[in-house]
Amino acid sequence: MASEEIRNRRVLFPIPDRDRVVVRPNVVFEGSAGRELKLDLYLPQAMTRPAPVVVLIHGGPIEPEASPKDWGVYVSYGELLGASGFAAITFNHRYHALGEGRRAAADVGEVLDFVRRSGGAWSSDPERLALWTFSGGGPFLSSALGNSPSFIRCLVAYYSVLDLQEVPEEARSAVDPETLREFSPLAQLAGRDGGVPPLLIARAGRDHSFLNASLDRFVARALAQNAPLELLTHPQGQHGFDILNDDARTREIIARTLAFLRTHLACD
């Protein structure tokens, strides 16, 4: 299947009241060292109180010229979340090569800082945030697991890499062990004495063996630590099942994810 076709695919879930979602594309804000950053906002049209925020974190590594926030999957998730009462944020981070985790993590941090300082201006609640990662974006849950700031209420990981410490040899030679540990959600979870935000993980049964092995190690550790974990499996699901597997199980997982977000973001 051509890459362009994949990038145009939308989430396989009905979006109610899609026309009532307010979209603010390419919102510009200043990051560190004066660097200009852009993100897209998807907002409910009618709100009785400030909306909780869901930040969508795409995978990687990706080509420097790519713009995932404009891909069908993230546009449609933004619309779905906005129609469901959340403020959704999509953006592009700079994870262009295995050794660029710190640079991409800095981009994620800049977006969270933007939400924290200016979310009230667009009727969102900076005290009620969720992070939702996809695929190679999983490592950027590490800071939330390591520090667990109170404003991050929950985490979602769809077919995400959650352990970088056991990677293929070619990746190990490209990244130093300390960086692999720093951006391994499993390592951050194992180092915690206290609680972590509630987690929802969606696993695709027919995904890449390395990815599922990393995810399975994370789940085993989370269960051993009695972490608040919900695991959803799609036995026949491919990597990217939410845009590739048009079936009842895909819709069940997405519906359950929305319910999980409503619960932990204290939605009305």
55: left (phi over 0), alpha (psi -120 to 50) or beta: beta
* Full 3-state SS string of 51-72: EEEEEEECCCCCCCCCCHHHCH
**Residues whose CB is less than 8 angstroms from the CB of residue 161 and which lie 6 or more positions away in sequence, other chains included:** 135, 136, 138, 139, 211, 214, 215
Note the pLDDT tens digit of each residue in 101-158: 888 888 999 999 999 988 888 889 999 999 999 999 999 999 899 888 999 999 999 9
Q: Which CATH number fits domain 3-264: 3.40.50.720, 3.50.50.60, 3.40.1010.10, 3.40.50.1820?
A: 3.40.50.1820
Q: Where are the domains of the chain?
A: 3-264
Mean pLDDT of 235-240: 98
Give the residue, 174 or 213, on which the prediction is more confident: 213
Q: What is the pTM of this model?
A: 0.95
The pLDDT value recorded for residue 253 is: 98
Q: What is the dihedral of CA 81, 91, 153, 142, to 10 degrees?
A: 140
Measured between alpha carbons, how far is 37 from 26 in angstroms, rounded to an integer?
Answer: 9
Looking at residue 114, its amino acid is F
Note the pLDDT tens digit of each residue in 16-68: 888 899 999 999 987 776 778 899 999 998 777 899 999 999 998 889 899 99
Residue 216 has pLDDT above 50, yes or no: yes
Of the candidates 80, 6, 78, the one whose C-alpha atom is nearest the C-alpha of residue 244 is 6
